[in-house]
Amino acid sequence: MKKELTCIICPRGCALTVTENDGVWTATGNACPRGATYGVAEATHPTRTITTLVRVKNRVDTMLSVKTENPIAKERIPELMRLIHQTSALAPVKAGKVILEDACGSRIIATRDVE
């Protein structure tokens, strides 16, 4: 199996070819080792850090920006978004506060203050 990817680790954007042979994945086209790690991970188990918004219950027309503390599996993003849409925060909130303790294996963290 072979997959063509663009490395998104740095702005150089190397064109990667990730190949599977007898269960072993290898990358070519990477200008540095980080690209090989990214390419194999993206081909075998893609993950994403998600940034989104959560309602603030006790403020009118106010949303709180949040993100996953760790990358989560790409296939779990719809489940994560359902959990986040059911969640609300109570102001005041400081950046770094945990808004959800466990959402698809990651904590959800506020990324800004809401007074």
CA–chain centroid gap for 81, Å, is 12
Residues 32-61 that bind ligand SF4 (CB under 6 A): 32, 34-35
**Residue 30 interacts with ligand SF4 (CB under 6 A)?**
yes
Contact status: 15 vs ligand SF4 (CB under 6 A)? no
Q: Is 106 in the site for ligand SF4 (CB under 6 A)?
A: no
How far lies 36's CA from each of 3, 26, 67, 74, in Å?
13, 7, 26, 19
Q: Does 12 bind ligand SF4 (CB under 6 A)?
A: yes
Nearer to ligand SF4, 7 or 40 (CB): 7
Q: Are 53 and 75 in contact (CB under 8 A)?
A: no
